[in-house]
Amino acid sequence: MKRVRKGVVLCREDLHVFEVDPSLMTRVPQDVTDPEQTRIVRNRWEYLDWMHRHFAHKTVLLSEVTDAPVHGPGHGH
């Protein structure tokens, strides 16, 4: 678990899952298992892909049609 900014930790490097610093979660403790977290993240992406298809036949990205970078600041992989 790596602290990335005040109050935020990176808990799953593979899935880019961030969480609130556990020291701030004393009133509402949270215990999500790794498989459950994986399922939530994958379902979320699946849902967002579905949403794109629901609203348009095709999603065009700015980097495909201009010289805009694929990755934004802080998001380089």
Partner 1 sequence: MATLTVPNPVTDQVITALEQALGKEKVRTDLGARIARTRVPAPFPVHRFAEHMPDVVVLPETAEEVSAILRIANQFRVPVVPRAGGTGLADGAVPLHKGILLDIKKMNKIIELDLVNRTVTVQPGLNMLKLNEYLAPYGVFYPDDPASYPVSIIGGRIGTSGWSLIGSRYGHTRDLVISLQVVLPTGEIVRLSDGGGAPKVRKASTGYNLKQLFIGTQGTLGVVTEATLELFPKPEAELAAFFGYESFEEAYRSTGALSTSGLGTLAAVILFDERKVDYLRRDDEAYIPLPDRIKAVVATALYGVEEEVRAAANRLFRIAKETGGEYLGDELSAGDWASRHDRYATPLHGRLPDGTVVPMSWHCEDAAIIYSELPAIKQKWHEITDRYIQKYGIFDNWGMFFYSNNPYKGWGDYLVEIDIGIWEQALNEETWQAWVNLKREITRATLEHQGSISACHGACREGDAEFIPVELHEGGFELMKKMKRLLDPNNILNPSKNYLHLAYVDEEVGA
Task: List interacting residues with partner 1 (CB under 8 A).
Answer: 4-5, 7-8, 16-18, 20, 24-28, 47-49, 51-52, 54-63, 65-66, 68-75
Cα–Cα distance, 24 to 5 (Å, whole number): 13
Amino acid residing at 43: N
Report which secondary-structure segment, H or E, holds 9: strand 8-12
CB of residue 1 to partner 1, shortest distance in Å? 14
- DSSP calls for 12-25: ETTTTEEEE-GGG-
CB of residue 17 to partner 1, shortest distance in Å? 7
Nearer to partner 1, 34 or 69 (CB): 69
Nearer to partner 1, 33 or 47 (CB): 47
